[in-house]
Structure formats: C-alpha cells, structure tokens
Amino acid sequence: MGNWKNETEAREQIKAMVVNYYHDFKEKKGEFKPGDRISYASRVFDEKEMCSLTDAVLDFWLTTGRFSDQFEKDFAEWIGVKYAHLVNSGSSANLIAFSILTAPELGDRQIKRGDEVITVACGFPTTVNPILQYGAVPVFVDVTVPQYNIDVTKLEEALSNKTKAVMIAHTLGNPFDLAAVKTFCDKHNLWLVEDNCDALGTQYTIDGVTKFTGTWGDIGTSSFYPPHHMTMGEGGCVYTDNPKLHRLILSYRDWGRDCICPSGQDNFCGRRFDGQNGELPQGYDHKYVYSHFGYNLKVTDMQAAVGVEQLKKFPVFVERRRHNWERLHAALEHVQDKIILPEPAKDSRPSWFGFLISVKPESERKRNDITKYIEERNVQTRLLFSGNLIKHPCFDQIRGTDAYRVVGDLDDTDFIMNNTFWVGVYPGMSDEMIDYMAQVIIEAINR
C-alpha cells in the first residue's frame, strides 16, 4: 500500500507510473527499415491518453460521465456545431442519425416505410443499412472516378415524390460535391445526412464560407474506431445545429426515453411524477416513459477520456495526413499511364483517410495481382469497402425486389469494385515509410 496523503496525491503517483510504463513499453522506438510492416492505419497516442484513461478508470464511473461531457463540449466547439452527442461507434452514429428522421415529431418530413433515400452502393454498408432496417427504400446512383463520390448529375433523375433524404459518405476524406447536393436538398426540402466517418477535419467552401464536412447538412456522423482520424477504441458521434434533432438524438440514444435526465441524475427535467404520457397512468415515472423505439448506444467515460486527449492532437494529425497523401501522390505521378490517381474535390481541403488507386484496364494488369505483390512486401492494402454493396450476400434475399431502387447504371461503381484499392496515409507514417510504400507500388505496377 502507498503512503498517500489523499486521493489527489495517489492519482498523481499512479499516473506518474503510467507515464514511465508508456516510455518503457509502448513508445515507438527504432527507425523504420524497408520491409517492416506498414499498416493501412493505426492509432497514434502517447502517455497523455494513457493518463487520461487512468483517471477515468480510477473514477470507476462506468457509463457516460465527466469525460464524455467534456469531449462533447470540446468537439462541438471545434467542429462548429451547437450539439454533439457521443455514441459507441460510427455505425451507431449512422443508425441514430437515420432513426431520428423517422420520429413523428417531424410531421410531413418524417421518413416512413416506403419513403426513399438517395445514396450510393460504393461505400461502407452502415451508411445504407439503417435505411433498409427502417423499411425505407435506398435509391442507388453511380459515383465518379477519380473523386469516388456521388455523381451529382444523377440526383434529379433519382428524385421521386417519395424522396425524403440524401444520406451519403465523404469517401476516404474527399468530400462529395456539397454545393450541388445541398442545393438539391434545399430545393426539394430533403434531409441531408453527412456520413463524415472517413473525413473528419475536411474543409469545404460554398459561396466564400468555409466549414468542416459534417456541418453542412442537417446531421453529421463520425467514427472513432482505431483506424480512423482519431480514436477512442470504439466510439462515434452524432452532431447537428437543429434543436429538435438534438432532442431526438438524446432520446433514441438513451433507450427511446422521453426524459433527458443525465445518467445518475433524477428529476433533471423537473416533471418526473406529474406528466400524462400515452395511455400510462397520470404521473408515471418519467424516467421510464418511452416516446420512441430507441437503444442504449452511449459511450463509456473510459473511451471518452482517450478522446479528450486525442482531440487536442487532432489538427496535427490532419496536417500529417495531408503531407503523407501529397508525398505519395508526387511519387506515383510518373506511372499514371497505368493507374488513376485520386483528385481532391473542387473547393475542398481534404483530411485524407487513405490514398485510392485504380488500375487502368488498358494497362492489362489485374488489381488483385498488384495488391498481392504489395501485401507480400508487408504493405497493407484495402479495397474501397463494399465496392458495390448490392452485389453482396446481404442483398441475396432482396435482390431484384422493390426494397431498393437503382437509377441508371452503376458502371463506375463496378469499375471500382474490380479495379480499385487503397493504402494508408495515417499520421504515424514517416517519410521513409511513404517512400518505401511508393517504391513497392511502382514495382507492383511495372513488373
């Protein structure tokens, strides 16, 4: 047992030991050598995250608490929104973002079964899954290469009298054409949900106004899974400027409760035993009144404690991602006769999640042969997620039904499915790692 005078002294001594532990056992040591493993993504942290996590562990407050409150406040201020709410993953963030649009409080704008939501099949499934799970109809349109985002020339063709929303992601940090999509949504009174999980820190300018992606639409979502721009281990966030949507997020995230009392606080709402709700008895305990079909998707304070320190480092992370992406792009420019290099969207300053490469069919090289060669040299690759989501087994039982709709062809989506891969540019990469990765990619393309 330690001879501690008080809890504050005990905490400081414990955290001092954690700092030493980090430097002895977790701190990255040694220079990169060609052939060392290069992951497509990885967490970047130091003793500050470990000490913050230790603080939360010593609190032993096992649900949402003071660190969660701090992160939500700091994150909202940084990204520029009024309301930010932590959840347990980016997938949950997308689920909440769509769920709240089905709430009856939204009147004529409520999304009901059979209503349509414009999206793309080239991306991660959890952008689309909530649409299907609520009985709405995803309307798939094609994307463009080399931006790898929605083809905005197809939006009007995709519109019907059932369209209620557009829900799409910014691909690997490169934003979709927000100016065109927002104009379309405003014109037709549609909800715009920005899946910002792969683009946190990306900036976009419309009419001279520059804002972060995720804040141009009605709702933005982020993921804090370890490979993402910053991490809590697991974790996500839903954010908005709309006070009604803010109130709905709290309900759907907390079991669908009508009450917004924070965890551990009773009668915060001031009407715990005096309300009339549904067909319940007068004065039924407001903490157990459910106005929506919700979930418990809250984050733990331990996760949030890591996020509080990660957010402080985040601007440096973004700048390093941009540096790595630009260095890799410059190294690969002389093999553009065989591959298509990515291009940033007009009026954007991307916070890159990865570096997309498409193999030109006329090069007579196969994507899988190239990625196999790269992987054998210890460089990790990834495909652009689902490629074409409607080709996957999860669509087997609904393929060809009216559960979804396809507008035009998905030629570019299929091209990406067959010819595209990506490598990482995460902030833990050194110039030496980027240069070796470029060398291996060029060898794979030219051999």
Please, what's the b/e burial string for 164-197 (b: 16 or more CB within 10 A of its CB; e: otherwise)? bbbbbbbbbbbbbbbbebbebbeeeebbbbbbbb
Helices (H), 147-242: 155-158, 178-188
Write out the two tokens for 238. Answer: 């839903």
- CA–CA separation, 41 and 372 (whole Å): 18
Contact present, 433 and 32 (Cβ < 8 Å): yes
Active-site pick, 228, 246, 286, 292: 228
Cα dihedral value 152, 223, 133, 85, nearest 10: -110
Contact present, 248 and 221 (Cβ < 8 Å): no
Contact present, 249 and 92 (Cβ < 8 Å): no
Element (H, E) at 17: helix 7-21
* Beta-ladder partners of 405: 139
Rg (CA), the chain: 23
Active site residue 228: yes
Contact present, 175 and 204 (Cβ < 8 Å): yes
Q: Which residues are the active-site residues?
A: 228
